[in-house]
Amino acid sequence: MKTHANRDDIYHLKDTIDKHEKDPEFKILLDKARLRVAIARQIKIAREEAGLSQSALADALGISQPMIGRLEGLKDYRLPSIELLTKIASITKKKLVVNQPGFHLELTCM
């Protein structure tokens, strides 16, 4: 069983993305996936820099720990709401910055 991608796999993936990125539907899905990755990364960074566990952040937000795990681990294909991201910024007292081509978002606690 193969557990890690090797260099050839990564080049093949890049070639596949480059080939299909010209397809408008594929581009939309790819951009959404990249946005989800960027948001997930920012949530995890903010939580860790605030010294919070997933459970502690979930409790503060009034949601379940598995929901935080899904947000950080990309198991939820939906994008989190601006309201949820604003609450995360407020609780962690960290700025969430998501900067993707054609999309820029900065949320700061008040």
pLDDT digits (tens, 9 = 90+) for 79-107: 899 999 999 999 999 999 998 877 888 88
- What average pLDDT does the segment 10-35 reach? 77
Question: What are the structural domains of the chain?
Answer: 7-107 (1.10.260.40)
- Which stretches within the chain are classed as H helix? 7-20, 24-49, 54-61, 65-73, 82-92
**pLDDT the model gives residue 1:** 46
Between strands 96-100 and 103-107, the pairing is antiparallel
What count of other Cβ atoms lies within 10 Å of the Cβ of residue 39?
Answer: 21
Check pLDDT > 90 for residue 47.
yes
**pLDDT the model gives residue 13:** 64
21 versus 103: the higher-pLDDT residue is 103
CA nearest neighbour of 88 among 104, 102, 67: 67
- What average pLDDT does the segment 66-73 reach? 93
Q: Which of 15-19, 30-34, 42-46, 96-100 has the highest mean pLDDT?
A: 42-46
- What average pLDDT does the segment 2-30 reach? 70
